[in-house]
Amino acid sequence: HDNGIVHRDIKPHNVMLNQLKRNKWRVKVMDFGIAHIDPTGQFTEVGDGQLTQTGQALGTPSYMAPEQIRGTGVTKLADIYSLGCVIYYVFTRRTIFSGSGLTVAVSHLNDEPPTIISQLPDMPQGLDRIVAQCLEKDPGKRPQDAIEIGNALEDALKDISDKPMSEIWKD
């Protein structure tokens, strides 16, 4: 986002982790095929309808922000919403809403997302708060940048960062 890019398709398949050393990782975002580049960094809303040549909305329904689904325009805050969906998926191994693309899209517009703690009661409350903030239907209520989310995640997860994965995901 600091470089004026709105990705518009943040999802687990487009995020890679690169281990630098023990407990130190770098997140890499991949596949900028439908990204919007705004060199001014002003993040003005992108387009009405945002249709591809085949008439499909841009993005993956399971990870799309409400404003992206409505086609009313996206800013970096749509990517923040998508990041919340990815974080939820990483911990629960489930998408927030399930069903057909249209059903999922309508759920993103109207339904309250389930919490991580409803799926994994031993997760830190701070993690649930971060995801809930990212998944606000109103973009103005979401965290304003990914660095803010990264810092909050680091703080929220510090108590479980040294636990083996088998303790975190007991199933």
Number of Cβ within a 10 Å radius of residue 22: 6
CB 130 within 8 A of CB 149: yes
pLDDT at 48: 42
By the 10 Å C-beta count (0-12 exposed, 13-18 middle, 19+ buried), 79 is classed as buried
pLDDT score of 139:
95
- pLDDT averaged per 10 residues in sequence order, the chain, 171 residues: 87 89 81 79 49 52 93 88 96 92 94 93 92 96 93 88 68 58
Question: Which amino acid, 51?
Answer: L
User: Which pLDDT score, from 0 to 100, does residue 171 have?
Assistant: 58
pTM, entire model: 0.84
* Contact yes or no for 89/134 (Cβ under 8 A): no
- Whether 171 is catalytic: no
Q: 36 phi and psi, to 5 degrees?
A: -105, 130
Greatest C-alpha distance within the chain: 47
Q: Between β-strands 5-6 and 36-37, what pairing exists: parallel, antiparallel or unpaired? A: antiparallel
Tokens of 3: 């470089």
**Structural contact between residues 116 and 83, judged by C-beta atoms closer than 8 angstroms:** no
Q: List pLDDT tens digits, range 71-112.
A: 887 889 999 999 999 999 999 999 999 998 899 999 999 999
Residue 97: per-residue pLDDT:
96
C-alpha–C-alpha distance, residues 156 and 151, integer Å:
9
